[in-house]
């Protein structure tokens, strides 16, 4: 509707009352300009005679210029106005098909609306049952949306919403409901560590941040690239694909996702071939029997998994030694993994055992 407003009551120029029935002869409504096609309308004036309302009989065309005029009228003091006219242009049909707001009760913060990607992301508290959520949605003026605002939806997976603009433009939106990201992890562990050519299991002690990697004799420990796995989200320095010299212990710094760093010590213990070696517990006991008839036994070192030396004995010094055999009672050892280094006169063979308590 179009309104003509006066700051004083209006009447006809002959000083008589201005009524609804008089307005059609006083008002001109045309397309484009004063010489354009007539536009059918009805008109009323309010009780105080200050506001005239003009209502087109049918919707106006979009993007169309219109001309409207009113002939002279009088005010309460009998002052007569001059004829007044104005032109206006209606708006074009809107092509806007946007989701403006998307709200689910109890959501965390505001929804993230990306108009370029046509996506909406809603964060709900952890543990929320997303199978029956009821969003309240607002869209662009004159646009419509399906499914409707207020309709319950299962947001287990992405839900598509179709917004149709006034001019028929269609935009399909993808709506996701997610949970808050967990806090950054404080874990800064080396989970696995393997060197090329390694045949036995690496021992990793999380408490002492120690890695012990057994390697066969004859493999160079210089310029090796290890395979390292660390905690999720953590970083390691030097990087895992850095070539290093493992002939001496090396260190790595593992930094958790939250920024907490830990220094790890990596030791490589090289052993001999095990030809002629017998290595096992005597049946029904926790007495470890080691026999090496081929090369003999010169020295035995037993390390805990954290690298602590638990026992060291030499042939000719310790009573449990014979030239080719060795027995040690491990019943007093705590449960866990142990590294046994068996030396002949030139080199050592590394074996691992596990004591279960």
Please write the tens of the pLDDT for every residue from 338-354: 877 776 654 456 677 88
Residue 306 has pLDDT above 80, yes or no: no
CA separation, residue 166 to residues 63, 98, 109, 169 (Å) = 14, 11, 31, 7
Mean per-residue pLDDT, 43-69: 96
Q: What is the pLDDT of residue 217?
A: 80
pLDDT of residue 349: 61
Average pLDDT score, the chain = 89
Whether the pLDDT of residue 298 is over 50: the answer is yes
Higher-scoring residue by pLDDT: 66, 211: 66
**CB 90 within 8 Å of CB 61:** yes
Q: What is the pLDDT of residue 295?
A: 58
Model confidence over 83-122: pLDDT tens digits? 999 999 998 999 999 999 999 999 999 999 999 999 999 9
Q: Which of 154-163, 232-241, 306-315 has the lowest mean pLDDT?
A: 306-315
Tell me what pLDDT residue 236 has: 97
Closest to 212 (Cα-Cα) out of 323, 303, 89: 303
CB 321 within 8 A of CB 352: no
Asked if residue 200 has pLDDT above 80, the reply is no
Q: What is the mean pLDDT of residues 208-220?
A: 86
Lowest-confidence region among 125-129, 147-151, 274-278: 274-278
């Amino acid at each position: 509707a179009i309104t003509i407003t006066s700051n004083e009551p209006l009447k006809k120029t002959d000083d008589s009352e201005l009524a609804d029935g008089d307005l059609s002869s006083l008002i001109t409504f045309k397309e484009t300009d004063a010489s354009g096609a007539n536009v059918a309308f009805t008109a009323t004036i309010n009780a105080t005679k200050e506001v005239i309302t003009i209502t087109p009989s049918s919707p106006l065309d979009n993007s169309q210029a219109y001309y409207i005029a009113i002939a002279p009228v009088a005010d309460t003091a009998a002052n007569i106005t001059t004829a007044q006219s104005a032109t206006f242009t209606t708006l074009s049909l809107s092509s806007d098909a946007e989701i403006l707001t998307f709200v689910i009760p109890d959501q965390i913060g505001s929804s993230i609306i990306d108009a370029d990607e046509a996506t909406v992301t809603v964060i709900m508290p952890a543990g929320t049952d997303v199978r029956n959520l009821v969003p309240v949605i607002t869209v662009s003026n004159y646009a419509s949306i399906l499914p409707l605002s207020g309709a319950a939806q299962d947001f287990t997976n992405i839900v598509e919403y179709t917004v149709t603009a006034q001019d028929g433009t269609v935009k399909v939106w993808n709506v996701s409901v997610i949970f808050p990201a967990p806090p950054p992890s404080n874990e800064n562990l080396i989970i696995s560590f393997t060197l090329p050519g390694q045949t036995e299991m690496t021992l990793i002690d999380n408490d002492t941040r120690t890695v012990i990697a057994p390697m066969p004799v004859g493999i160079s420990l210089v310029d090796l690239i290890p395979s390292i796995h660390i905690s999720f989200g953590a970083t390691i320095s030097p990087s895992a694909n850095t070539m290093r010299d493992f002939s001496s212990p090396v260190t790595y710094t593992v930094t958790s996702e939250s920024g907490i760093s830990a220094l790890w010590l990596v030791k490589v213990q090289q052993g001999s071939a095990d030809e002629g070696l017998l290595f096992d517990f005597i049946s029904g006991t926790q007495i470890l029997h080691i026999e090496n008839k081929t090369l003999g036994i010169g020295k035995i070192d037993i390390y805990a998994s954290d690298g602590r030396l638990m026992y060291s004995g030499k042939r000719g010094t310790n009573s449990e030694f014979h030239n080719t055999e060795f027995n040690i009672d491990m019943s007093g050892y705590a449960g866990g993994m142990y590294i046994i280094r068996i030396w002949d006169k030139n080199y050592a063979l590394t074996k691992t055992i596990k004591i279960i308590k």
